[in-house]
Amino acid sequence: MSDISRLGIVGCGLMGSGIAEVAALRGLDVTVAESTPELAAAGRERVTASLDRGLRRGKFGAAERDQALTRLSFTHDLGDLADRQIVIEAVAENREMKLDVFRQLDKVVTDPEAILATNTSSIPVVDLAVATGRPAQVVGLHFFNPVPVQKLVEVIPALTTAADTVNRARAFAAGQLGKEVIQAPDRSGFVVNALLVPYLLAAIRMVESGAARPEDIDSGMKLGCAHPMGPLRLLDLIGLDTAQAVADSMYDEFKEPLYAAPPLLQRMVAAGHLGRKSGRGFYAYEA
């Protein structure tokens, strides 16, 4: 099984930029596609800033940082991903947006054996696979935020995914990117979010009912259960809009009340209180 050398990424937000950074540091040629020149430029700045932080913190040297930057290119034309051996979709957690990306990738990626992967948190992989003419090459590769720090990747085969695609995806994530891999079922939420999301929503309901303050809930889970971060701080880090999108997807599939987004979460998202990225969520943050 030959190594992958050419990676494409669609989307350069928190997840896409993190995947790009890790891959470039590990020696891959990385092309990142965004929807506009402005977003492509912002993506370049995001990756460069993260590499500079890593350099200041002593995670790698200046030569490694500079070499990683030479392996990165940014574009607003999906056609520039035509020669990629694997493309990872990392756009917003929106079903129609992701479906559109996969339909376009199916047309532009020339290698019929190229892997088309999704970084979705909750959308069934098979829905994206059957939007293409190559469902056997579509697989889930779910990274965790922040990608340069978090070691886990969930590999999610759809019913249509070929065994060779699964093996190549596992080898890519583990052998080339240095991640720890678990295989997850193609059910909304997979393994981690199926366990995590009900816990996070339960914390919101405690705040909503007045049972406890955010500070007390977070301190309780950190000090009482040895969690590195309380659930409400974690929600602010994830982004409340992302958390609602994941919860909605899981509720749509299972119709279980524990997956339903609480009214407080819906109201906070409507108000633009999305957590760290907006400066305000369950806590306030400096710009």
Is residue 154 part of the annotated active site? The answer reads yes
* Cross-sheet strand order for the sheet of 152-157: 72-75, 29-33, 6-10, 86-89, 115-118, 138-143, 152-157, 180-183
Residue 108 tokens read as 């532009």
Is residue 142 part of the annotated active site? The answer reads yes
Same domain, 140 and 252: no
Of 50, 188, 193, 249, the catalytic one is 193
pLDDT of residue 54: 95
284 is a domain residue = no
| Domain end (from 141, 156, 183) | 183
114 is a domain residue = yes
Torsion angle defined by CA atoms of residues 91, 94, 95 and 98, in that order, rounded to the nearest 10 degrees: -10
Count the domains in the chain.
Answer: 2
Q: What's the N-to-C CA distance of the chain in angstroms?
A: 46
| Domain end (from 158, 183, 208) | 183
Of 142, 188, 249, 273, the catalytic one is 142
Q: Does residue 30 contact residue 47 with C-beta atoms inside 8 Å?
A: no
Exposure of 195 in the CB half-sphere (CA atoms within 13 A): 3
Q: Which domain holds residue 157?
A: 6-183
pLDDT of residue 145: 87
**Which positions ≥6 away from 178 have C-beta within 8 Å?**
22, 26
Same domain, 37 and 171: yes
pTM of the entire structure? 0.91
| Domain end (from 183, 203, 219) | 183
Same domain, 233 and 259: yes
Q: Does residue 193 contact residue 250 with C-beta atoms inside 8 Å?
A: yes
pLDDT, mean of residues 156-185: 98
pLDDT, mean of residues 123-133: 96
The DSSP bridge pattern shows strands 29-33 and 72-75 to be: parallel
Same domain, 81 and 197: no
pLDDT, mean of residues 261-283: 97
Of 154, 188, 249, 273, the catalytic one is 154
The DSSP bridge pattern shows strands 138-143 and 152-157 to be: antiparallel
Is residue 119 part of the annotated active site? The answer reads no
91, pLDDT greater than 70: yes
57 is a domain residue = yes
250: confidence class by pLDDT, cuts 50, 70, 90: very high
142 is a domain residue = yes
Of 121, 122, 188, 249, the catalytic one is 121
Is residue 278 part of the annotated active site? The answer reads no
pLDDT of residue 1: 61
